[in-house]
A and B are shown apart, each in its own frame.
Chain A
């Protein structure tokens, strides 16, 4: 799918795309953090019909609703495609020896063969964390590997 990006100097950006039904959709992202969703109905192709205006917070909520199931689906697809591979989550508890230490020190991949593909910290997702990525108590690591591998990472991190 092609998303066209149009600069609105002094105001922000506009993203445009055509959906599978042939509707032209525009999203105006203003510098102020507000969003406007528009469609372009037939008669005057230049004129947008405003559909919604969203504050930054509302836009975040909408993005989450639209985005979250898709991330889960992708993980599910990935593990389904490769037999024997699973995905799991390992929480860094406050008493973990690695709370406050860099990820690399767990040597998780070397020791278990499982990969840590993301660290979920509150509302943020740190994708593809490097070995220098610090871990904090409360972080949740997303681990991909065999079931034994994931259990191994859990043993290492949770001490």
Chain B
């Protein structure tokens, strides 16, 4: 076997660079997504260091990255969370959709894009980054806050809307007629509904087939089935990403937890490759001209996202400060705006540059803005390492030894 030295070297350098970028980003509580995009830009045509040998691998890896992103999104989903979100925040989801998709669509129309471009841009401005936001809420210790369920519900409903939106986009991008697009949406909706119903009823069977005591087996089975279904979905023009999402949906409970654990390192790798590939595909020279439009769009949609969050948190009876926190938390756009462009961009050069810039702005500014949202004093200072040692005694874990744990008297 011939060892492709150039590929290995380039890939190794790229991954090392990404890890350094990611670590620096985490240090400043930034999402790695915009940093990976920047890395891709630097490596692409007209960038600092082109990587011809790794290009093919990166492009293949990117396709797998999208599939894994959507698969894990589906795995995170539970019927109970979806129905309760829908029950409580249906109107929030509508407000969110109208307020945030319309500016994107308008911008697309003003820029003279075609129908596919307008649709893609509307999607990119609509969907917040559930990855960035959920992590941010944990990092900022806001999971206990009253506005948090509203924020998370909006994210779940947005993610779910992707299941309908992506096939629509796939057909329109492929130059299909609106009737075909409508049909694709219909098919996707029915299939998703069936998948949910089936996962409730027969999910444990699917889980049994795909789960195994051996982690390697779980990885190969889930990945194999997902890639097959994704390929079939792509052939049927409902987008490979939606196929992967369906597999994620149909796995529930323990099987989903296991699949998530096994797949998440792989997901992290290929998702990074995907973001990199998107950066690579954008010409650095296109970026600067896109900056004014991207900035304007970012400003407008930051405000509209805030309004959507304000409304959603208000429905849960949250006060002014909480509504402000909810609004700012939702501003961040990230992986799914990028996924959308990944699907639509091959046909749309300007769109790629515009949305890449847009995501880089909001993925960085969104988290910063919500940090500035009103919160109380910082958490309690940590206790001195030796504080109170004199009075305390360290016990080993109270192992529930059968003899004494329950303190019942022995037999007479």
Contacts and interface: CB of A to CB of B under 8 A. Distances in A.
Interface residues of A, number: 53
Contact of A68 (B137, B141, B156, B406): B406
A72 interface: yes
Given A9-B81, A10-B130, A51-B380, A26 B144 contact: yes
A6 B148 CA distance: 10
B112 interface: no
Contacts of A123: 399-400
B182 to A, nearest CB: 29
A46 B408 contact: no
B405 A120 contact: yes
B252 to A, nearest CB: 13
B80 interface: yes
A26 B376 CA distance: 17
B175 interface: no
B144 A28 contact: yes
A131 interface: no
Contact of A30 (B141, B143, B408): B143
A9 B322 contact: no
A10 B149 contact: no
A11 B134 contact: yes
Majority-rule SS of A interface residues: mixed
A36 B407 contact: no
A10 B397 contact: no
B149 A9 contact: yes
Contacts of A138: 402
Contacts of B402: 89, 91, 120, 138-140
Nearest to A73: B407
A14 B143 contact: yes
Contact of B409 (A46, A61, A87, A122): A87
Nearest to B144: A48
B211 interface: no
B153 interface: yes
A142 B375 contact: no
Contacts of B82: 9
Contacts of B138: 11, 30
Nearest to A26: B144
A125 B84 CA distance: 33
Contact of B412 (A9, A46, A150): A150
Contacts of B410: 88-89
A151 B411 contact: yes
B26 interface: no
Contact of A36 (B78, B141, B325): B141
A12 to B, nearest CB: 8
Interface in B121-158: 130, 134, 137-138, 141-149, 152-153, 155-156
20 contacts: A7-B84, A8-B152, A9-B152, A10-B76, A11-B152, A30-B138, A38-B143, A41-B376, A44-B321, A47-B146, A47-B325, A47-B375, A48-B142, A61-B398, A68-B400, A88-B411, A88-B412, A89-B410, A90-B411, A142-B406
Given A10-B152, A40-B144, A47-B145, 7 more contacts: A6-B149, A45-B146, A46-B145, A48-B145, A64-B397, A90-B411, A91-B402
Interface of A: 6-11, 14, 26, 28, 30-31, 36, 38, 40-41, 43-51, 61, 64-65, 68-69, 71-72, 75-76, 79, 86-91, 120, 122-123, 125, 138-140, 142-143, 147, 150-151, 154
What are the 7 A-B residue pairs with the smallest beta carbon separation, nearest first?
A: A48-B144, A72-B407, A38-B144, A140-B402, A46-B322, A46-B146, A88-B411
